[in-house]
Amino acid sequence: KNEVEQSPQNLTAQEGEFITINCSYSVGISALHWLQQHPGGGIVSLFMLSSGKKKHGRLIATINIQEKHSSLHITASHPRDSAVYICAVAGGGADGLTFGKGTHLIIQP
């Protein structure tokens, strides 16, 4: 069974700061997902990674398969980025995703 750990659990930053959220997992995977959950509860998929790096707007996600570690970066953070960011992994022959507890991000103006 995969264990997914995220850090930090809570992060408060000022608008414009560069944000990094980390995720580590214990067992080899086929893919890692970064998800965003807003206060209303809905979940939006940001990235799915199997290797390397992906960029979408101000968001960058990287993964190191050998080290079983991924990072999500937000450049030029904005108050609208305030949300819970969740790391989830797929693989090990399992259909369902295994989720981390999430990082609660608050960007202050």
Partner 1 sequence: EPEVTQTPSHQVTQMGQEVILRCVPISNHLYFYWYRQILGQKVEFLVSFYNNEISEKSEIFDDQFSVERPDGSNFTLKIRSTKLEDSAMYFCASSEAANRLAYEQFFGPGTRLTVL
30 binds partner 1 (CB under 8 A): yes
Decide if residue 68 touches partner 1 (CB under 8 A): no
Q: How far is the CB of 56 from partner 1 (least distance, A)?
A: 13
Q: Which stretch binds partner 1 (CB under 8 A): 14-22, 33-41, 58-66, 67-75?
A: 33-41
Beta strands 19-25; 43-49: pairing state:
unpaired
Check residue 94 for interaction with partner 1 (CB under 8 A). yes
For strand 83-91 and strand 103-108, is the pairing parallel, antiparallel, or unpaired?
Answer: antiparallel
Cα–Cα distance list, 74 to 15, 18, 77, 84, 93 (Å): 11, 6, 6, 13, 31
> Which residues have a Cβ under 8 Å from the Cβ of 26 and sit 6 or more positions away?
2, 3, 4, 68
Query: Based on CB atoms, which residue is closest to partner 1, 39 or 109?
Result: 39
Query: Closest CB to partner 1 among 9 and 14?
Result: 9
What residues line the site for partner 1 (CB under 8 A)?
30-31, 33, 35, 40-45, 48, 50, 86, 88, 90-102
